[in-house]
Amino acid sequence: MNRQKIFSFIILLVAATVLFPLCWAQSAALPTTWQVNGNGYTGLLVLGKTDANTNEVSGTLLGTPVKGYLVGRHLVLHRYPQGKTQIWDGWILDPKLGAQGQPYYDGTLIIAGLISENKGQVDGVYPWYAIVQGTAAPPTGANLILNGSFEQGTVGNNRTSGITHWTVIRDNVDVVQGYWQQIDGKRSIDLAGTYGSGAIQQTFSTTPGRQYEVSFFMAGNPACDNPLKQMRVSAAGQTADFSFDTKGQTLGKMGWQKKSWRFTANAASTTLVFENVGPNRGCGIALDAVSVVQR
C-alpha cells in the first residue's frame, strides 16, 4: 500500500467514525421484530427500546426474555436457556453502512454475529444471523409455537426443561413415545407425569390488542386414575377449561380431538400455559400439535 492509499484509508476511517453515529441517529427507527434463522435456531427476536443513557436494551429472543446492550450498531444480548449462559454478539448491517462485514446479503437489514455459550469457558462459538421482517407482526398463518408437537427433547418423565422450547412449571409431565396411539409425529405429552399433575408453558412474541388462536389435539391417558381428565389453558390473563372422558378409549384408540381457543394479547410477549387440573396424578390429559396463530 503506498502513502496515498494509506492516507485515503485513514481519511475514510475517520469519516466513517464520525459519520457512522450520525447516519445511525438519522436513520429510520430500528425494526423491533427480527426473524432469527441460523444454527438450528428459528424464531423471533423482539427488541424493546434502548435506554439512551445506559444503552441497555431488553426484549425477547426465541420466546425467552433477554437483556443486553446496543451501542451504535453493536448488539450484545444475554440469554439463559436451560441453565446455560449464551451471549449473542452481533452487528446490525445494511448495504449503505455495511463496512463491518461482507455485503453478501441482498440489501435487507441484518444482524450478523456469534453465539458463545457458558460464562468464561466458551463451549462453542457459532455464526448466526437474523433477517428483519419489516413489520412488527409475523406473517399471517405462521405458528408462533416452537416444538408444538413435542418431537424435540427428552422422552419420559420431565420435571424442568427437558422438552425443547417448553418449561415444566409445576410437578412433572411425561413425554410419551410408543406407548399410546399418536396423532402427530412420534411423541405427545401426558400432562400428569409420574405421580404428578403437571403444567407446561412457552412464551412468544405478540402484538397487544391482537387476537390469537390456540389449537391443539387433546385426549386422555386411559391407563389409570379417574377416567375424566381435565385441563386449563391460559394466556394473557384469560383461561379456558377442557375435559376429556377416557371411558371407552384404550391406549391403541385414544380418541384424539382437535380443540381451539382464542385470546387477546395484552403485551409484547405472551406466555401460554397448559395445566392438568383435577384429582388425577399420573394419568392425565394427553396433548399434542400445539399451535398459536395471529388472527
* Footprint of Ca ion (CB under 5 A): 149, 184-185, 187-188, 288
* Closer CB to Ca ion, 233 or 286, in the complex: 286
CA distance linking residue 29 with residue 40, whole number of Å: 29
Rounded Cα gap, residues 64 and 140, in angstroms? 22
State in angstroms the smallest separation of the CB of 112 from Ca ion: 34
Min CB(187)–Ca ion separation in Å: 5
**Residue 216, CA distances (Å) to 1, 233, 242, 247, 251 in order:** 64, 11, 11, 21, 19
Please answer whether residues 48 and 30 qualify as being in contact, where contact means their C-beta atoms are separated by less than 8 angstroms: no
42/85 with CB nearer Ca ion: 42
**Residue with the three cell numbers 436457556:** 81
Smaller CB separation from Ca ion, 88 or 242: 242
- Least spacing, CB of residue 74 vs Ca ion, in Å: 40
Question: 81: how many CB neighbours lie within 10 A of its CB?
Answer: 16
CB nearer to Ca ion: give 20 or 179. 179
On whether the CB atoms of residues 194 and 284 are closer than 8 A, the answer is: no
Shortest spacing between CB 34 and Ca ion, in angstroms: 28
- Which of 117, 184 has the CB closer to Ca ion? 184
CB of 148 to Ca ion, least distance (A): 8
DSSP per-residue string spanning 196-245: ---EEEEEEE--TT-EEEEEEEEEE-TTSS-SEEEEEEEETTEEEEEEEE
In the bound state with Ca ion, the residue whose beta carbon lies nearer, of 109 and 163, is 163
Least separation in angstroms between residue 133's CB and Ca ion is 27
**In whole angstroms, what is the distance from residue 166 CA to residue 160 CA?**
9
